[in-house]
C-alpha cells in the first residue's frame, strides 16, 4: 500500500463539496488522516470567495496515474468541476496528488512531489501536520523545514469543520 497525500480545496459551496469529496475518497481508498482544514484567500484573486483547504492522507494500491485519473478526476467531475484556461478560476473542488510514497517523478501530467508544496503554506503545513518526519523525495528536504519557514498569515483554522470531516471519515471507515 502506498502512502499518498491529496490536496483538497474548494471555494464554491466548500462545506458541501469538501465533505462530498472526502466521502468519495473514503469509498475508494483507506483514509489514514485528515489535516486541519483552513480558510484561505484565493491566490491572486481577492474578489473571489474564500477557499477551504486541507490535505488528506490515504493508503491505496493504485498507481499515481490511477489515483489521478481513476480516483481524483472522476470525483472532481462528479462534483461539477470544470477546467478552464484560468488556472485560478473558482472551483467546486480541486483534488491534487501532492505526494505518493517516496516516489519522485516528472511526467507529462504528474509531478511528484507536487512542486507547489515548496510554495504554498496551505499544502506544506497540512502535510507537516500529518507527517512531521517526512522527507520530500527528490528534494531531500524535511517537510518540517519547508513548513516552518512558510508564512501562516491568511490561514484561518476551521476546527469545527475539521472535527466534522474526521468524524465522517471515521464513520465511513468503520462501515
- Say which of 19, 81, 114, 120 is annotated catalytic: 81
pLDDT at position 161, please? 98
Max CA pair span of the chain: 42
- Annotated active-site residue 81? The verdict is yes
Instruction: Give the DSSP H or E segment for 108.
Output: none
Tell me what pLDDT residue 45 has.
75
Residues of the chain with pLDDT under 70: 173, 175
Distance CA 108, CA 80 (A): 25
96 is catalytic: yes
**Grid cell in block for residue 81:** 468541476
H helix intervals, the chain? 14-28, 64-65, 73-78, 121-130, 143-148, 159-174
**Grid coordinates representing 141?**
528536504
d(CA 138, CA 112): 8
Catalytic option among 23, 96, 144, 166: 96
- Which position among 19, 91, 114, 120 bears the catalytic label? 91
pTM of the model: 0.95
pLDDT at 175: 63
Q: Tell me how far the alpha carbon of residue 142 is from its chain's centroid.
A: 19
Q: Which of 19, 94, 114, 120 is catalytic?
A: 94
Extended strands (E) in 41-104: 51-60, 94-100
Angle in degrees, CA 162, 163, 167, rounded to 5? 120
C-alpha cell of residue 34? 485528515
Give the pLDDT score at 20.
98
Is 94 one of the annotated active-site residues of the chain?
yes
**Confidence (pLDDT) at 165:** 97
Specify the CATH class of 2-166 in words.
alpha beta
Q: What is the pLDDT of residue 141?
A: 96
pLDDT at 139: 95
Give the span between the Cα atoms of 64 and 69, in whole angstroms.
9
Report the C-alpha dihedral over residues 68, 55, 41, 144, rounded to 10 degrees. Answer: -120
What is the reported pLDDT for 108?
83
The confidence score (pLDDT) of residue 84 equals: 79
Amino acid at each position: 500500500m502506498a502512502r499518498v497525500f491529496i490536496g483538497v480545496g474548494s471555494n464554491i459551496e466548500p462545506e458541501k463539496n469538501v465533505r462530498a469529496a472526502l466521502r468519495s475518497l473514503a469509498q475508494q481508498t483507506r483514509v489514514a488522516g485528515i489535516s486541519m482544514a483552513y480558510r484561505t484567500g484565493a491566490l491572486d484573486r481577492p474578489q473571489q470567495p474564500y477557499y477551504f483547504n486541507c490535505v488528506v492522507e490515504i493508503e491505496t494500491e493504485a498507481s499515481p496515474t490511477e489515483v489521478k485519473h481513476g480516483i481524483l478526476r472522476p470525483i472532481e467531475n462528479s462534483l461539477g468541476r470544470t477546467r478552464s484556461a484560468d488556472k485560478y478560476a473558482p472551483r467546486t473542488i480541486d483534488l491534487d496528488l501532492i505526494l505518493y510514497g517516496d516516489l519522485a517523478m516528472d511526467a507529462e501530467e504528474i509531478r511528484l512531489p507536487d512542486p507547489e508544496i515548496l510554495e504554498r503554506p496551505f499544502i506544506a503545513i497540512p502535510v507537516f501536520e500529518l507527517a512531521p518526519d517526512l522527507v520530500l523525495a527528490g528534494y531531500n528536504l524535511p517537510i518540517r523545514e519547508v513548513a516552518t519557514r512558510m508564512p501562516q498569515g491568511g490561514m484561518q483554522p476551521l476546527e469545527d469543520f475539521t472535527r466534522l470531516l474526521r468524524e465522517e471519515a471515521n464513520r465511513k471507515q468503520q462501515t
